[in-house]
Amino acid sequence: MCKFAHKEVKPLDLSKINIKVPITEKKGMVFYEIFVRSFYDSNGDGIGDLKGIEEKLDYIQNLGVNGIWLSPIFESPSYHGYDVTDYYRIKEELGTFEDFVNLIKEAHRRNIKVIIDFVPNHTSSMHPWFIEARKSKNNKYRDYYVWSDKNTNLTELSDIGQRAWHKSGDSFYYANFWSEMPDLNFDNKRVRKEIKEIAEFWLDKGVDGFRIDAARHIYPQNRIQDTLIWWQEFGDYVRIIKSDTYLVGEIWTSENIIGKYFKVMDSCFNFPLAEEIIKAATSGRTVNLKLIMENTYPKYGNINKNFVDAPFLTNHDMNRVMSRLKSMEKMKTAAAIYLTLPGNPFIYYGEEIGMLGEKPDEKIREPFKWYKNSGKGQTTWERLDYNIGKNSTSVEEMDNKNDSLLNFYRDMIKFRLSNDVLTKGDIKLLNTDDKTLAYLRTYESNSNLIVHNLGDSSVTLTIHLPQDIQLKGEIIKGKGDMNINNGDINLNLNRNSFIIIK
């Protein structure tokens, strides 16, 4: 029988889902996403590796982040690793278990948490499970995957609009993303057990959590309740092993669906918000950004009042933000916005130095630029097409320039993590014109007012504070002219600038 056949679904009882660690302990993070093979090469083969990341932990620590997310490190036939052939082995070119354990140890010594990219939705077609499964309908691994039956519509598209069913012998199997990445069958209890045991293995190695790839695709969208129930089961299991395990889900869809996952994940990436921040920074207009903020935060809060958002700008699947903004000034504006919003921000490697890149995927994952030209540890696995010549940007060039994008990121991240209002506080959007964005962040009895001018000219505005909010009137970050009159904040801000007042 086709495991994706229509099935009666019991509603998920959200009241029975318990987060076993106080959510405030999972706030206060800023993560740095590392595409491992592009970051730093420790052995001269041109490919970034785990030992290379360990060697550059001082850079990561100096950036100010207190968490790193590693792209898939499992054995895989591809460069990207999202088609796994062995969940218990590290891809040889990336390093050894000893390298991994040492990286974890050294990161933890610096109070940096490490989460790894976990790919449970599908395997590679070269995984031993699938090799066995396609041999015969009676093979014990057959039911690890999703196969058609006589009632299956073989012309239906997957949830991402691609061909879903692929021929193998006289049968067809389901693959949401690509024919060579067959989906696992989570109606099979043995599959569920395998995935939980894989997670346990890596937790025992010291990881602090998982970025869950394709988290919403465990079942088709008409079975979202089953997907949520699975993630509840998985979350309960891993927190028995390690109570503070951090789970952040890739739920790449609308805020309506993302919100449903805030009861079964600690965090979810805020894709709608990311898009609107970039559009606002590009256009200088804030109407749509305000609308998405007004819509998402209350919606997520109604699902889970203690939700931890995961704001970001772009990641390894998206055109790089600098290629969209084309301006260091606007880049700083976009960064200043998302680094002052609620949740745990995620920074894509190279974003902090303004690296460029547009699809295909390899070009948005180009080697990290340590040097203007070349030097020790520079990876070379992929030819540089975007970050070269007059478009080149590097740590070497930005490191000691006070006004560089790199030092802007360092300053903003460290400021954020030293401020409980920004790391743990709630948010209230304030009324301003279409060129500006203003919000209050409040934690316990303390508040910060954050105001951004996204326009290309200076602006004068007055902020009317809620009656229950009182500020000291002290500028703690950013620049601008300010005075307080009868509780109102009068401001003059330069183009593409921001100010934070306590």
CB 501 within 8 A of CB 487: no
From 380, 385, 318, 312, select the one nearest 352 (Cα to Cα).
312
Taking each helix axis from N to C terminus, what angle separates 405-417 and 328-338, rounded to the nearest 10 degrees? Answer: 10
From 138, 110, 129, 239, select the one nearest 185 (Cα to Cα).
129
CB 84 within 8 A of CB 76: yes
Task: List CB contacts of 108: < 8 A, sequence separation 6 or more.
Answer: 114, 206
Tokens of 252: 């790449």
- Whether the upstream peptide bond of residue 367 has omega within 30° of 0, thus cis, is no
CB 211 within 8 A of CB 176: no
Tokens of 279: 């559009």
Tokens of 265: 């994940």
Active site residue 399: no
CB 501 within 8 A of CB 471: yes
Catalytic option among 49, 54, 117, 213: 213
Tell me how far apart the terminal alpha carbons of the chain are, to the nearest angstrom. 62
d(CA 280, CA 437) in angstroms, rounded, equals: 10
CA angle at 64 for the pair 61 and 67, rounded to the nearest 5°? 70
From 343, 348, 107, 352, select the one nearest 246 (Cα to Cα).
343
Active site residue 317: no
Catalytic option among 33, 99, 187, 250: 250
d(CA 393, CA 371) in angstroms, rounded, equals: 8
- What percent of the residues of the chain are helix, what percent strand, and what percent coil, each to the nearest 5? 35, 20, 45
Tokens of 130: 């699938």
Place of tokens 């009137």: 473
Which residues are catalytically annotated?
A: 213, 250
